[in-house]
Amino acid sequence: MAPHNPSNTIDFDAAKLQRLGYASRLQKTLKPVSLAQLRQQLSLRLQTSLEVERILELFFSEVQRLVPLGALSYQLASCDLRLDLGERANHSAGYRLNHEGEYLGELTFRRNQRFSADELGQLESLLASLLFPLRNALLYRAALQSALRDPLTETGNRIAMQQTLKREVDIARRTLQPLSVLMVDIDHFKRVNDNHGHIVGDQALKAVANALKDSLRNVDVVFRYGGEEFMVLLSSTNREAASMVGERLRMAVLGIQYLVENQAIELSVSLGCATLLPGESMDSLLRRADNALFVSKRDGRNRLSMAG
């Protein structure tokens, strides 16, 4: 947990701190405490939450009763986690956090005055109170995310799909932005399982899921709808753009080079596309996309059909 100098400069948004209510708090005179008192209080306060963001906000607030800080940043790339609190500052002290050999991310303190050796020692002592609550919060976060993911394809599951689609439909209504969905079904998937076994079938499912994810924007989301069927959520995407995305996905799957015992397995998908209508419900949107998918399958598969 030795301090290091980060290689990249990080800009902090002071408005974030103000929105969290820390700006006014920092202007007040904080009641000084001893290192031992603060460690004891941190041990209690940081165990009151299982949210990573809340734990770090509490830690940032409490530490300043002993060591004045201008900002705190935290990131854990493997979990796509990043939190910035405070204002831009010139001097920093960064730490790589580990708990019993488990990597917990990078944390950086910043302020406009250099940190003294005594202050660095105090910060390092206080960090020891953060590690266990932070690890618990990260485990809890991972468990929640796992509950929303399909373990085979690493796409969202039906629960995640329902939650995300409902939110996106609400946003589209408020902002009057377009929203489209694609229903994607692997053609003749039963033949793959029957001819090559379910292990090969699982590998084919993963290959198709990866092809879909690799062909989309970061803001688009893929969900496993069930069996060999996926749903793709296209935010801020109108009918014409969704049609082009659908064709791109179809061609991406056709391009999969999947070999079993040096024998190529040809994979293709049928797609149905629907774009949200004014006042339309989430269920109606999915039903229209599913009906369009049925048309693609009825008309010969390996094609895209648009809902009317």
228 among known catalytic residues: yes
For residue 187, give both structure tokens: 């053609």
> What does the alpha-carbon distance between residue 125 and residue 224 come to, in Å, rounded to a whole number?
46
> What does the alpha-carbon distance between residue 213 and residue 295 come to, in Å, rounded to a whole number?
24
Let me know: does 105 contact 18? Beta carbons within 8 Å. no
SS3 156: strand
Q: What burial class does residue 155 get, using C-beta atoms within 10 Å of its C-beta: 0-12 exposed, 13-18 middle, 19+ buried? A: buried
C-alpha distances (whole Å) from 5 to each of 88, 89, 110 are: 16, 14, 11
Let me know: does 200 contact 143? Beta carbons within 8 Å. no
List CB contacts of 137: < 8 A, sequence separation 6 or more.
Answer: 49, 50, 51, 52, 55
Catalytic residue among 87, 228, 247, 280: 228
List CB contacts of 195: < 8 A, sequence separation 6 or more.
Answer: none
Which positions are catalytic?
Answer: 228
